[in-house]
Amino acid sequence: MRKARRSNDQRLLRRRLLRAGVASLGGALFPMLAARTQPASADITTTDLGGLALLQVAGVNVLALHGDDGALLVDGGPKASADALLRAVYAATRTTRIHTLINTHGHPDQTGANELVGQAGGVILAHEKTQLYLSHAMYSALLEGRQQPLPEAARPNQTTRGEGTLELAGKRIEYGYLPAAHTDGDLFVRFPQLNVLAAGGVVSGEQWPLLDYRNGAWFGGRVRALERLASLVKADTRVVPAEGRLITGRDVMHQRDIYDELFETMIGYMNMGLGAEDVVERNPLQKYEPELGDASAFLDGAYRSMQIAYVPD
């Protein structure tokens, strides 16, 4: 009876956590987990994904699609590489301008080309929370120091709250909101005819994607995001993370299962009154570290984000 009651309590806490208000996360201040720096210069490689170009600059992924009125770009790489990136995009797509740039989220490695695209009259599409993030000075759990607002020309000039579609050169492009998954303004971008999905900072094939819990991300949002992405992919879907190598839909399903398992474990830790340092020491992700590396920073941020999101009745 005691074991059944404990199991039921954990299910209730899971539901309460997943319903928790994400707005409370934005102002939380905790120690920096990691700092990212922009490269001074980088080589750009281009890979054809069956009519969709994948450009990689300093480990950051950008997608480009030909359009009669200009190219579609998913993310813009770091600012230091923006000029070279756009030249590579024009060559890969046989165009001379960017019609639309979609920011999957607001971190610098995804918004570096925004200013050039905006100055040239292109559409910059992002979630409305990303636009807010890029329009004000902000702190991030993943970036060093106070992040200054982007120049007005570099800010998104078209926003979405949820789902949407675009048509470009006979190709359908779908995008949708992943609440509180990596930041509070994450979008996925899907190319169903090409069996390609851009998932932004929510997944990775090389490391544990950290949570920007100072800007609305929390682990429950990551769990929901992987469940949503897993519903959109086939086993052989090519999935493009914000950084690093391509993964497949099969990998997304596997990561969904990892996060589901971890969420239940984290609830148990919360019931035990553990702190983030205790969770890191216990390392419930140890068996997965050969796949995605040291999980310490991820576990620290994920657990802190749950402590922020959960408000007792």
Condensed to tens digits (0 to 9), the pLDDT of residues 290-313 reads 999 999 999 999 999 999 886 555
- The pLDDT score that the predictor gives to residue 41 is 40
C-alpha span between 107 and 71 (Å, rounded): 22
Helices 249-272 and 219-232 cross at an angle (nearest 10°) of 150
Convert the pLDDT of each residue in 125-156 to its tens digit. Answer: 999 999 999 999 888 888 888 889 999 999 99
Q: Which range in 35-49, 88-102, 142-156 is most confidently predicted, on average pLDDT? A: 88-102
Half-sphere exposure of 213 (CA within 13 A, CB side): 26
Question: Which residues, other chains included, contact 57 with Cβ-Cβ below 8 Å and sequence gap of 6+?
Answer: 39, 42, 43, 44, 77, 78, 81, 84, 85
Closest CA to 175 of 232, 135, 134, 222: 232
Residue 243 is given by DSSP the state B
Would you give the end-to-end CA distance of the chain in angstroms? Answer: 24
pLDDT at residue 103 tops 70: yes
pLDDT of residue 259: 98
What SS3 state is found at 160?
A: strand
For the cut 80, the answer to whether the pLDDT of residue 7 exceeds it is no
Q: Where are the beta strands (DSSP E) in the chain?
A: 44-48, 52-57, 60-65, 71-74, 98-102, 123-127, 158-160, 164-168, 171-178, 186-191, 196-200, 238-241, 247-248
pLDDT the model gives residue 279: 98
pLDDT of residue 166 exceeding 60 = yes
Distance of alpha carbon 14 from alpha carbon 279, whole angstroms: 18
User: What is the pLDDT, as a whole number, of residue 142?
Assistant: 81
Q: What is the DSSP letter of 236?
A: T
Give all strands of the β-sheet with 186-191 in edge-to-edge order.
Answer: 164-168, 171-178, 186-191, 196-200, 238-241, 247-248
Residue-level pLDDT at 18: 58
Per-residue confidence band for 90, with pLDDT thresholds at 50, 70 and 90: very high
pLDDT of residue 171: 92
CATH number of the domain at 2-309, please? 3.60.15.10
pLDDT at position 143 is 83
List, for residues 167-201, the tens digit of each pLDDT value: 998 899 999 999 999 999 999 999 999 999 999 99
Domain ranges of the chain: 2-309
Instruction: Evaluate whether 199 touches 248 at the Cβ level (below 8 Å).
Output: no
Question: Is the pTM for the entire model greater than 0.75?
Answer: yes
